[in-house]
Amino acid sequence: MHRRYRVGSGDEYAIVFSAGGAYIRGFDHEAVMSPYGNDGPWPGILDSVPDSFRRWVEEPAFCDEDGMPVVTVCLWREADDEGRRVGEIDYPDGERDPDGSAHLFKLLTGPSPEAFQRFAEDYYEVSVDIDAVRHVYALRPLTQAVVTLLNADLTLEDLAEDLATARYPSQRR
């Protein structure tokens, strides 16, 4: 199973979960290590990807129309690994976030309601009610009042299928 997230402005990441472990690849379009400014993926990013995840390197959904992997960051963890692994990469000097990983994964590495509120306000350019976000983060049943605080154009019924898929609790009228 894999999940692909587009985080805005052409940036994206994907996480693949399998019996063999997890494979993560990301692309930050402004990263110094972009394949588009370097005649392909940065040396070392994909060279050490184990055979168990090799098919995801060439996965068409993770490549451009010419078949080039669209990647600035790649990491993986096989089922028997002690921790995450990355390739042997010579990162460029003087760059704070050369592969874009801090930018791409900030909500995964700092998953707080406040971090999500900052992301949503920046991405959607609207004010986001922190109490409504805290309600969702606490996994309290979603109500129409909370939905309205987050998006006045949606109803709880509009979200019924997504809520069921995510197994998120909601209060029906």
User: How do residues 108-121 score in pLDDT, each as one tens digit?
Assistant: 777 789 988 988 88
137 and 150 inside one domain: yes
User: pTM for the full model?
Assistant: 0.70
47 and 84 inside one domain: yes
For residue 133, tell me if it sits in a domain: yes
79 and 135 inside one domain: no
55 and 41 inside one domain: yes
pLDDT in tens, 79-91: 999 999 999 999 9
25 and 99 inside one domain: yes
For residue 172, tell me if it sits in a domain: no
pLDDT category at 6 given cuts 50, 70, 90 is low
133 and 99 inside one domain: no
pLDDT surpasses 60 at 5? no
Type of residue found at 3: R
Q: Which residue has the higher pLDDT, 5 or 108?
A: 108
State the residue range of the domain holding 158: 113-166
Query: Total structural domains in the chain?
Result: 2
- 108 sits in the region (left: phi over 0; alpha: psi -120 to 50; else beta) called alpha
pLDDT surpasses 70 at 1? no
- Nearest CA to 116 among 108, 22, 93? 108
For residue 88, tell me if it sits in a domain: yes
